[in-house]
Amino acid sequence: AQKITQTQPGMFVQEKEAVTLDCTYDTSDQSYGLFWYKQPSSGEMIFLIYQGSYDEQNATEGRYSLNFQKARKSANLVISASQLGDSAMYFCAMKVTGGGNKLTFGTGTQLKVEL
Amino acid sequence: NAGVTQTPKFRVLKTGQSMTLLCAQDMNHEYMYWYRQDPGMGLRLIHYSVGEGTTAKGEVPDGYNVSRLKKQNFLLGLESAAPSQTSVYFCASSYRGTVSYEQYFGPGTRLTVT
């Protein structure tokens, strides 16, 4: 079985600063994918970034980057130059090959960006 | 291109009543999913489907049934609603294939059972 752990229920960051949201995972599969989703207060789920288990480079998408440390089983999300619009809940999730490619989610981190 | 849509957006039920949530996608995705989101627990998978006419149980299937008669639609049914089913329900869909394909989510349905 797969498990995702997000140990930071809430985080604060000042505008224009960088912030790291932690995510650790557990799986015995060799082939898996790691995802981050953003959920603003309006409720929709927005895909941010993906990292494959065989990818040698850390994924980046604009101001988002994924700090992937395979040996430590961690997939932390780094948001650079935080903006007020980044205030939201952030979920880390994992998918393994087969069985419908189901996503297993963590419990989320509530990020608040302050002036 | 509407993506993933869910009907209704809000619903209040009394204990014991039944209802069906409808999910529709126009991206020709093979896989579809139903999740529920409860405070402090993230999203948990209820049921999923890997193709028309097929369904399978997820992590929390009890009290729910699903059907996928058409590729673009995935229905979630509550036969006898209970207060424990008060939650926000999300439908999602994705392409079949490698783990790299993201899941696209609908806007959610907020269900309250009194």
Tens digit of pLDDT for each residue in A63-86? 999 999 999 999 999 999 999 999
Query: Which residues of A sit within 8 Å Cβ distance of B?
Result: 4, 9, 31-33, 35, 37, 43-45, 47, 50, 52, 91, 93, 95-97, 100-108
**Helix, strand or coil for residue A107?**
coil
Whole-angstrom Cα distance, residue A55 to residue A53? 6
Segment-wise mean pLDDT, segments of 10 residues, chain A, 115 residues: 94 97 95 95 95 94 97 97 97 87 94 97
What pLDDT is attached to residue A97? 76
Q: What residues are paired with A79 via a beta bridge?
A: A19, A64
Residue B100 has pLDDT above 80, yes or no: no
Q: Which of chain A's residues have a Cβ under 8 Å away from the Cβ of B88?
A: 43
Q: Could you count the other beta carbons within 10 Å of the beta carbon of residue A60?
A: 12
DSSP string, B9-42: SEEEE-TT--EEEEEEESS--SEEEEEEE-TTS-
Query: Mean pLDDT, chain B, as a whole number?
Result: 95
Q: In this complex, do A100 and B107 lie within 8 Å of one another by their Cβ atoms? A: no
- State whether residue B83 is helix, strand or coil: helix
**Which pLDDT value is given to residue B71?**
96
The answer to whether B47 and B61 are in contact (CB under 8 A) is yes
State the pLDDT at residue B23: 98
Three-state SS at B85: helix
CA distance A95 to A76: 16
| Facing residue for B58 by CB, picked from A35, A95, A102 | A102
* Chain A neighbors of B58, CB-CB under 8 A: 102
